[in-house]
Amino acid sequence: MVCLFGGYWAMGGHLGVLMQPWELVIIGGSALGAFIVANPMVTIKDSGKATAEALRNMVPKQADYLDMLSLLHTLMREVRSKSSAEVEGHLDSPQESAVFQAYPKILKNKDLVNFITDYFRLIIIGNARPHEIEALMDEEIHTITRDRLKPYHSMQALADGLPALGIVAAVLGVIKAMSALDKPPEVLGHLIGAALVGTFLGIFLSYALVGPLASNIKVTREKQTRLYAIVKQSLLAFMNGANPQIAVEHGRKTISSKDRPTIDQVEEQTSTPGPQMAEAA
């Protein structure tokens, strides 16, 4: 903003000319109307939520990854050491489970909790083959990712349309200017300048605001879905016979190197006795 408007002012431009509220009403109102027409209400609401997440950088941190690996490690130990009925108690009512209650941030993510509990149930049943579970997981993660990225696609479509809406506003301004050809040159010049502001606003809003925001939404949502990949790789390793500590190592390797906890951190986290361990003891 400083470079854009400061540079314009420094080269002799008059900032007052850029103050064209009705051009902004035409562009912003048309864009908002098109956005509402083009998207179902669920996507519109999720776009608002995704925008807030992107602006607040609500992506998983290293502590969140450690919690996820620790939860999976605990559940896998429960499967190994306890009966199916006891484990199903955690899976059927995760909100009341001491295992899940030890990780309140994960517990708030209902979609992720359902993903974890569903596949642990399949493991308990014991009839599913690992490659079948992997194919099912891939399909579900693909569906989840597609749904989570709908706000990105809707915002990107809005960004793509804003330059054209800016031209529409500019054309309306030119039409207004053409009706004032009998006016003095300074008046006519002001009207033409005001019309060109519409083109400026459309391009500026698209490439400097809405487009970058859409990209930020995509990055944020993709990082959030990485938690599902951790669950997938850990459970597949567990189904193929790996012990819980080795299984979570498979999950750890799917985390970006910038956020990935060390093996020692994971071992320390998984060996710390939580509420569920105290109960087992």
Q: What is the DSSP letter of 22?
A: H
Quickly state the pLDDT bin for 181 (edges 50, 70, 90): confident
What is the spatial distance between Cα 56 and Cα 40, in angstroms, rounded to a whole number? 25
- Kindly give the interhelix angle for 130-148 and 150-178, rounded to the nearest 10 degrees: 20
Mean pLDDT of the chain: 90
Name the residue among 191, 157, 162, 158 with its Cα closest to residue 27. 162
Q: Does residue 184 surpass a pLDDT of 80?
A: yes
- Kindly give the interhelix angle for 84-92 and 110-125, rounded to the nearest 10 degrees: 160
Name the amino acid, one letter, at 84. Answer: S
pLDDT of 278 reads 43
Of 24 and 186, the structure prediction assigns the larger pLDDT to: 24
Q: Does residue 276 surpass a pLDDT of 50?
A: no
Task: Give the domain ranges of the chain.
Answer: 62-149+242-271
What is the spatial distance between Cα 15 and Cα 257, in angstroms, rounded to a whole number? 46
pLDDT of 214 reads 97
Q: How many CB atoms lie within 10 A of CB 55?
A: 12
What is the spatial distance between Cα 86 and Cα 215, in angstroms, rounded to a whole number? 45
pLDDT of 13 reads 84
What is the spatial distance between Cα 70 and Cα 103, in angstroms, rounded to a whole number? 9
Q: How far is CA 253 from CA 77, 130, 228, 248, in A?
A: 20, 19, 13, 9
pTM summary value: 0.86
Q: Does residue 273 surpass a pLDDT of 70?
A: no
Q: Does residue 281 surpass a pLDDT of 90?
A: no
Q: Does residue 274 surpass a pLDDT of 70?
A: no
pLDDT, one tens digit per residue, over 93-142 is: 999 999 999 999 999 999 999 999 999 999 888 777 888 899 999 999 99
Of 183 and 220, the structure prediction assigns the larger pLDDT to: 220
CA atoms within a 13 Å half-sphere pointing along the CA-CB vector of 154: 26
What is the spatial distance between Cα 67 and Cα 99, in angstroms, rounded to a whole number? 11
Name the amino acid, one letter, at 127. Answer: N
pLDDT of 111 reads 93
What is the spatial distance between Cα 49 and Cα 13, in angstroms, rounded to a whole number? 38
Of 19 and 34, the structure prediction assigns the larger pLDDT to: 34
Q: How many CB atoms lie within 10 A of CB 154?
A: 21
pLDDT of 272 reads 67
Residue 257 CA to its chain's centroid (Å): 20
Q: How many CB atoms lie within 10 A of CB 262?
A: 10
What is the spatial distance between Cα 228 and Cα 251, in angstroms, rounded to a whole number? 10
Give the phi and the psi of residue 184 in degrees, each rounded to 5: -60, 155
